[in-house]
Structure 1
Amino acid sequence: MISFVLGVEDLADTRFGISPIHETVLSFRVLREPGLYALHLPWRRSVLGRLDALDTELLTALVGPDRALPDFLTPRPTRFAATFEEELTTVRRTPPGIVRRDVLAAYPRGRLPDVLREIAADDDAPALALRDAVCAALQRYWDVAIKPTWPQMRLVLEADMTYRARQLALGGARLLFADMHPNLRWHDGVLHIDKMIGRHRVLVSGRGLLLLPSVFAHKPAPPVSPEQPPLLAYPCRGVATLWAPTPTADGAALTSLLGAPRTRLLGLLDEPLPTVEIARRLTVTPSAVSQHLRVLHATGLVSRTRDGRHVLYRRSPLGDQLVAPASQSVFAAEVG
């Protein structure tokens, strides 16, 4: 069991984040043990034939026998939603001693695979070579396996955070963690994480707890090392919808359901846009757009998130299922 002891200030500083490199690294487990990740089998089938065989061998070797991963591959994000390239830069700067420590920690009973065996030597050169090789493979893997579907994955992650924020507002930390996962238990200011290979108690001590919803996490995943800053990746809601095939929509039926203005607006939101930009593109007033957005958001067809002074709207996974190439012609209608 791993436990996080959170004081009042730690709870006040508990926050959410999105980490593309966490998702990338956690997906290695799906490649290595597909039987445990039935929901992700469509994704796995779609990427396997496009991956470099040597990269796959190296990256999946980093998954230990207990499915632990070296902590240096998943650095704590420095901001809410860092880019993959920013996070990979952090990994590239990892000192060789940390690389060696974290790889060996993922294999607590030894027996390293051949591709990692040289890391055990008390020498910086093999650790540096491994770090650089892993980073190069990570970049190629991201480009092929994760980047093409990252926008859809991010929407699922953001939807989970919206739900969790509501849970926190309604019932505090107890309700926030209540249905996150059966292995999580909140009691007397301590968050207990059961069925971990580690056995330690971490005093958060003013550092705050960072929560990362994850598409590929099958259970709560704190850092293996107690020396790492407090962080918890956890399985997010809605993963089952992510790889489901999108049904073909009937454009006329969609217009009958939503009306021409909202149908065109929904088709426009395949990227995050503020109200003023939507109004500009549709040549209507912001107030007209706001009325339609309120309805679309209330019905779960669009998601929204704040970015500085602006609220950005984007089509939700549910909205994506309604909008298909066959229905694009209806978006030429005027919004009124």
Structure 2
Amino acid sequence: MIEIELGLEDVARTRFAISPLWEVVASIRVLKGVDAHGLHRTWADRARQQLAAEVDLSPLFDLVPVPTGSAHSGRIPGFICPPPTTPLPSLDMELATVRATPSALLHTTAEVPPARMAALRADPTAELGRLADAIEMYWELALAPYWSRILTLLEGDIRYRAGRLVEGGAQHLFADLDPQVTWAGGTLHVAHRTAHGARQLAGRGLLLVPSAFVWPRVFSVLTEPWLPSLRYPPRAVGTLWQARPATVSDALAGVLGRSRATLLTELTAPVSTTDLARRTGLTPGGVSQHLTALRTAGLVSAHRAGREVLYARTRAGEIVVEAASTGSPPSTAPA
């Protein structure tokens, strides 16, 4: 059990952030088998197909170990996914931090191949560049097509948590954060398999990072020089990959036209032009033209996965569909 002592300054500096880079690392743990309940099986099956091409992701995968039973089992090197310093950094921003990692921080007690760590220490600039390139490649193949859906879930949790904070302060905020986290007398108790003892934040505050792929764990970062952080499962994570009914809103059709509204509504998960044509009854040529228009408007994005191009709703597309179905736009997630 870890006991995180929060002083008044720490409580005042408690804030939220979302980290695309952490989702990369946490999702690789899922692909390596840390998903006994099959929560992410739908995504994992698709991602493995998209990653089946002959691409070398070993500079990344070597640094993401999974539990094996030892005391250091499952630990992740801090330098591969430092906590974000802004509420919603882009992946490029986080990778710039990785590329600039000081050589003094290239050490870990995690169970990673010694040869990989030796290479990093021998030529930090080149090896960190290869690591960042591998992360970018993995992101494009495995996560970018699904990011709008994931981001919607994470932002929804932050809105909920911010409401809890407003309603009842820090105690209310932490009361239902996760069963492994409890709040009592100004101290946050976090269950941990091997670490224990008190930790003081010294006025640095606590960064709360909802993570789609972290369940059922809670990951803590409490060592210098990283920002003190808790990475926790968001509410309703079990619904992330559930199929959603594609009911076309008359209001949306009135603005975009029936065909484009149908296509935007159908994009509940990344899909190819051929599949969209089969689902909707539109011709492949017509689907392509409409997707081009939606993409130009910023409502749809395209991602190459092997020989296919998959289309997905952007965050703007998600907001438009939700607003048309409910009659009001969703509130933005506070930081």
| TM-score using structure 1 length | 0.70
What are the Cα deviations for residues 163-195 of structure 1, in whole angstroms up to 9, with x where unaligned? 111111222212211111111111111111112
CA distance 1:11–1:181, change in 2 (3 Å): same
CA distance 1:215–1:37, change in 2 (3 Å): farther
Q: Secondary structure at the match of 1:192?
A: strand
Q: Which among 145, 150, 154 is matched to residue 153 of structure 1?
A: 150
Q: Which among 48, 63, 86 is matched to residue 79 of structure 1?
A: 86
Equivalent position of 1:215 in the other structure:
212
1:131: Cα distance to partner? 2.9
CA distance 1:306–1:47, change in 2 (3 Å): closer
CA contact (8 A) 2:222 2:228 kept: no
Q: Which among 177, 188, 191 is matched to residue 180 of structure 1?
A: 177
Unaligned runs of 5+ in 2: 68-72, 266-293, 300-312
1:197: Cα distance to partner? 3.3
Note the 1:251-266 alignment, pairs <5 A: 251=248, 254-255=249-250
CA contact (8 A) 1:32 1:60 kept: no
CA contact (8 A) 2:155 2:333 kept: no
What are the Cα deviations for residues 22-74 of structure 1, in whole angstroms up to 9, with x where unaligned? 11111111011154351111111111122256644443332333322111122
Equivalent position of 1:5 in the other structure:
5
Equivalent position of 2:202 in the other structure:
205
CA contact (8 A) 2:59 2:116 kept: no
Q: Which among 153, 160, 163 is matched to residue 163 of structure 1?
A: 160
Matched positions, count: 272
CA distance 1:262–1:221, change in 2 (3 Å): farther
Say if 2:323 is the partner of 1:303: no
Measure, in 2, the Cα distance between the counterparts of 1:88 and 1:154.
19
Measure, in 2, the Cα distance between the counterparts of 1:34 and 1:139.
22
CA distance 1:90–1:259, change in 2 (3 Å): closer
Equivalent position of 1:22 in the other structure:
22
Measure, in 2, the Cα distance between the counterparts of 1:262 and 1:186.
48
Measure, in 2, the Cα distance between the counterparts of 1:224 and 1:13.
15
Q: Secondary structure at the match of 2:331?
A: strand
Measure, in 2, the Cα distance between the counterparts of 1:11 and 1:34.
33
Note the 1:1-336 alignment, pairs <5 A: 1-36=1-36, 38-51=38-51, 55-64=56-65, 65=67, 66-99=73-106, 101-102=107-108, 105-107=109-111, 112-113=112-113, 116-119=114-117, 124-125=121-122, 130-218=127-215, 219-223=217-221, 225=223, 227-249=225-247, 251=248, 254-255=249-250, 296-297=327-328, 302-305=329-332
* CA-based RMSD: 3.3
| Letter paired with 1:144 | L
1:227: Cα distance to partner? 4.9
Q: Secondary structure at the match of 2:40?
A: helix
Measure, in 1, the Cα distance between the counterparts of 2:129 and 2:252.
54
Measure, in 1, the Cα distance between the counterparts of 2:187 and 2:334.
32
Q: Secondary structure at the match of 2:158?
A: helix
Which 10-residue stretch deviates more, 259-268 or 155-164?
A: 259-268
Measure, in 2, the Cα distance between the counterparts of 1:24 and 1:53.
19
Identity of aligned residues (%): 35
Which 10-residue stretch deviates more, 225-234 or 169-178?
A: 225-234
CA distance 1:262–1:236, change in 2 (3 Å): farther
Measure, in 1, the Cα distance between the counterparts of 2:37 and 2:129.
29
